[in-house]
Each structure stands twice: as C-alpha cells, then as structure tokens.
C-alpha cells in the first residue's frame, strides 16, 4: 500500500506518522512558519519504508516502538536517543538502528534534511533469523545502534533501500506486485541482518544447516495455524505423523528447542501483537493471554518479560509521550 501526504499542519502530520509508523508527539523547535510535512510511504508485507521531510527543525517522541526501525538521515545529521542511553548524532552516510523496546525520541531533525525511515515488524525479523540460522533465537535480536552505509555490506544494503525509495515516486507501482514485492522485501530484510551488528550475524555466514524434515514442518505449521489450541506433544506427533520421541529429537536438532517451547514462542508473539493494537479501556492482559492459550498468568508474565523486556500491562498501555 502506498501513501502520499502533504500538510503544513503539525497535528495532521502527527496523525500521518501515527498511521504509517507510531503514536508520536511532534514539536517544532524553530521557524514554525517553514513547517511543511511531505511524506511518501510504502507498506511491503511487514516492512514500511518512508521518505519524510518536515521543512522546519522538529523533535519527534514516540515512546516504545514495538518494532525494529532504521532511520537514514539525508542532507543533515539527526540527533536521537533510546531509553536511558546518551544522545547519538547520526550523520548522512550512516543509519540509526532502533530496538523494539525503550522509549524513543528523535531529539533534532533538521528542516533542511530528509529521513528515509524503515519499520520492520519485530516478529518478521526474529522469524527471519530463525529461518536463516535454522534455530530459534535464544536471546533478543539486539541491533547495534548505527550502521555504516559508505562501505562494505552497509553500502550494498543501502542500494537495496534506494530501490524502494525510488519506486515511491514512480507511477508504474511495480513494487506492489507480489512477484516483486515479497522477494525485494526479503532481500532488504536479509541484507539488514547481514550488514548490521547483532548476536546472530556470524551464524548467518556459516554453511546452511540441513533443511528441516517434513514432519517437523508439519508440526510447526500446525502450531502457527492454531497456536491457541491446547496442543500436547503427543498430539503434535500425530500431526507430524511420527512418534513422540522422534519429534522431540528432531526439534532439538533442527529447531533448537522442544516443540512446546516453540509453541510458547508463537503464543507470545500473538499476545504481543494483540496487546499493541488493543484498547486498554476495553481489553485486559488476562483475557488476551487466555485467548492465546496461556493458563497461568504468573508464568506468562515472566515469559513475556523475558522475551520483550517489559511487563505485558506496559505494552497494553502503549507508553508514549
């Protein structure tokens, strides 16, 4: 889906950023008469790319993002911080990489510069790490805060992003065709994981592990299709058409965790996604957790905090400025 937006109204600009990216508070720092937001945005199956300009110097505070995010400043440096970390000045030729957790602010975005913004859904990136390494990540995928775009893999990755940005201004809309959109999305995602620093990057350069056997894929597909179902290992073995012991040993070898741990990971992903979208006035953590198969709220809260770095009620409240 492609969106083109122009306005000189700050409130309207905030709503446009919220619709495409995140809830935010946008403040004009100086020369408000120069403010004029111009946004070109493309959503590409879990990745959102935008070419953004504001005309005047602004500050944008977004609270906790819940997704991975990359900002590439063009024309002028960008000052930002996340959580309790000190401010970072990211100059053109480099990219700022934001984590899903931690209150996030662009402290100064110069009016004479643009930002190419790339939002990547958290579950999409983490599943890609699993697919490329053949193992479920045991620790969060924490990206290093900056990426050099002038040399090496960072330079090559920036060329892929340029293809997305250039297409924002084309009338042919080639990138919206599924035969082009999904392969290019995957290339951009793979390139980011190969270029950026994170705990799993070295594993991506290792020889590919053997493909997962069909019975393992059957069990994984069943869990992804019905994660709320009260599966047992015996039932999953029946879905996979193998014995319980074979399934457990195959998951240990090809997935890296037991079948029930994999199911718990999927359920946590679904709860997290629903908490982000839910209205805290009409929804509760407990009802969402129960809906996705969690029967013990205390253990659920511990598992959620271990994966997402905060208690589930904080995600439901959508912490923002």
Point out the least confidently predicted range of 115-119, 179-183, 200-204.
179-183
Percent of the chain surpassing pLDDT 70 = 96
DSSP state of 199: T
Point out the least confidently predicted range of 86-90, 233-237, 295-299, 315-319.
315-319
Asked whether residue 207 carries a pLDDT value surpassing 70, the answer given is no
Confidence band for 209, pLDDT divided at 50, 70 and 90: low
Asked whether residue 66 carries a pLDDT value surpassing 70, the answer given is yes
Question: Are 143 and 89 a contacting pair, CB within 8 Å?
Answer: no
Which of 51, 91, 97 lies closest to 70, judged by CA? 97
Asked whether residue 51 carries a pLDDT value surpassing 90, the answer given is yes
Per-residue exposure over 185-198, b if at least 16 CB sit within 10 Å of its own CB, e if not: bbebbbbbbbbbeb
Point out the least confidently predicted range of 84-93, 128-137, 260-269, 289-298.
128-137
Task: Report the pLDDT value the prediction gives residue 180, as an integer from 0 to 100.
Answer: 80
Task: Report the pLDDT value the prediction gives residue 319, as an integer from 0 to 100.
Answer: 40
In angstroms, the CA 243 to CA 233 distance is 10
Which of 205, 266, 144 lies closest to 257, judged by CA? 266
Confidence band for 321, pLDDT divided at 50, 70 and 90: very low
Asked whether residue 120 carries a pLDDT value surpassing 70, the answer given is yes
Task: Report the pLDDT value the prediction gives residue 320, as an integer from 0 to 100.
Answer: 41
Confidence band for 135, pLDDT divided at 50, 70 and 90: confident
- The mean pLDDT value for 97-116 works out to 94
Q: What is the pLDDT of residues 141-195, one digit of tens each?
A: 999 999 999 999 999 999 999 988 988 887 776 777 777 888 888 899 999 999 9
Task: Report the pLDDT value the prediction gives residue 304, as an integer from 0 to 100.
Answer: 92
Give pTM, 2 decimals. 0.73
Asked whether residue 210 carries a pLDDT value surpassing 60, the answer given is no
- The mean pLDDT value for 304-313 works out to 87
Strand order in the sheet with 25-28: 25-28, 58-64, 103-109, 78-82, 88-90
CA 208, 211, 212, 215: dihedral to nearest 10 degrees?
180
Helices (H) and strands (E) in the chain, counts: 12, 12
- The mean pLDDT value for 290-302 works out to 92
Quote the mean pLDDT of the chain: 90
Question: Are 145 and 70 a contacting pair, CB within 8 Å?
Answer: no
- The mean pLDDT value for 263-289 works out to 91
Q: Which domains does the chain have, with CATH numbers?
A: 2-195 (2.60.120.10), 214-316 (1.10.10.60)
């Amino acid at each position: 889906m492609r969106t083109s937006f122009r306005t000189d109204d700050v409130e309207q600009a905030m709503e446009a950023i919220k619709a495409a990216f995140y809830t935010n508070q946008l403040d004009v720092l100086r020369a408000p008469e120069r403010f004029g937001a111009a946004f070109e945005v493309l959503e590409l199956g879990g990745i959102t790319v935008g070419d953004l300009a504001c005309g005047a110097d602004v500050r944008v505070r977004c609270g906790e993002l819940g997704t991975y995010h990359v900002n590439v400043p063009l024309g002028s440096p960008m000052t930002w911080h996340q959580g309790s970390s000190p401010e970072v000045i990211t100059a053109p030729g480099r990219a700022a990489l934001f984590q899903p957790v931690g209150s996030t602010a662009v402290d100064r975005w110069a009016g004479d510069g643009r930002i190419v913004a790339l939002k990547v859904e958290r579950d999409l990136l983490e599943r890609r790490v699993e697919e490329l390494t053949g193992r479920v990540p045991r620790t969060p995928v924490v990206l290093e805060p900056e990426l050099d775009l002038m040399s090496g893999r960072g330079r090559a990755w920036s060329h892929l992003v340029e293809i997305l940005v250039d297409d924002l201004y084309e009338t042919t809309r080639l990138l919206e065709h599924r035969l082009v959109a999904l392969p290019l999305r995957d290339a951009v995602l793979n390139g980011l994981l190969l270029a950026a620093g994170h705990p799993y990057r070295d594993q991506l350069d290792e020889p590919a592990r053997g493909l997962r056997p069909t019975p393992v894929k059957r069990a994984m597909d069943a869990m992804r299709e019905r994660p709320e179902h009260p599966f047992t290992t015996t039932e999953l073995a029946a879905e996979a058409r193998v014995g319980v012991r074979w399934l457990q040993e195959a998951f240990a070898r090809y997935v890296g965790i037991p079948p029930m741990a994999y199911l718990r990971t999927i359920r946590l992903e679904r709860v997290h996604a629903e908490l982000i979208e839910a209205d805290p006035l009409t929804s509760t953590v407990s009802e969402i957790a129960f809906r996705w198969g969690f029967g013990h709220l205390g253990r659920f809260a511990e598992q959620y905090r271990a994966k997402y770095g905060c208690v589930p009620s904080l995600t439901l409240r959508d912490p923002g400025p």
